[in-house]
Amino acid sequence: MSQTLRRYPGLVLKSALQDMLYQFVLNRSWDGPSEAPHTAWAIQTYAPDSLASFRASRQQHDRLQADELTAHHTPIAFAALFALPLIVAFGFYGLVRRSTAAFALFALLALLGNAAICGALSIPSPRYQSRLAPLALFAVTLAALGRCLTRRTNAAPFIENIGDLSGRRCR
Domain residue spans in the chain?
A: 2-30+66-160, 32-65
Question: What is the average pLDDT across 134-155?
Answer: 77
Calpha distance 44→54 (Å, rounded): 10
Question: What is the average pLDDT across 146-166?
Answer: 53
pLDDT per residue as tens digits for the range 80-134: 999 999 999 999 988 888 999 999 999 999 999 989 888 888 888 887 888 888 9
Residue 21, pLDDT score: 87
The answer to whether residue 166 scores a pLDDT higher than 60 is no
CA-based nearest residue to 70, from 122, 127, 14 = 127
- With 0-12 CB in 10 A as exposed, 13-18 as middle and 19+ as buried, what is 87? buried
Residue 158, pLDDT score: 46
Residue 149 confidence class, pLDDT cut points 50, 70, 90: low
Amino acid residing at 58: R
**DSSP character at residue 169:** P
Calpha distance 110→108 (Å, rounded): 5
Calpha distance 105→90 (Å, rounded): 11
Residue 160, pLDDT score: 47
The answer to whether residue 168 scores a pLDDT higher than 60 is no
CA-based nearest residue to 36, from 20, 70, 59 = 59
Residue 64, pLDDT score: 66
- The alpha carbon of 164 is separated from its chain's Cα centroid by a whole number of angstroms, namely 23
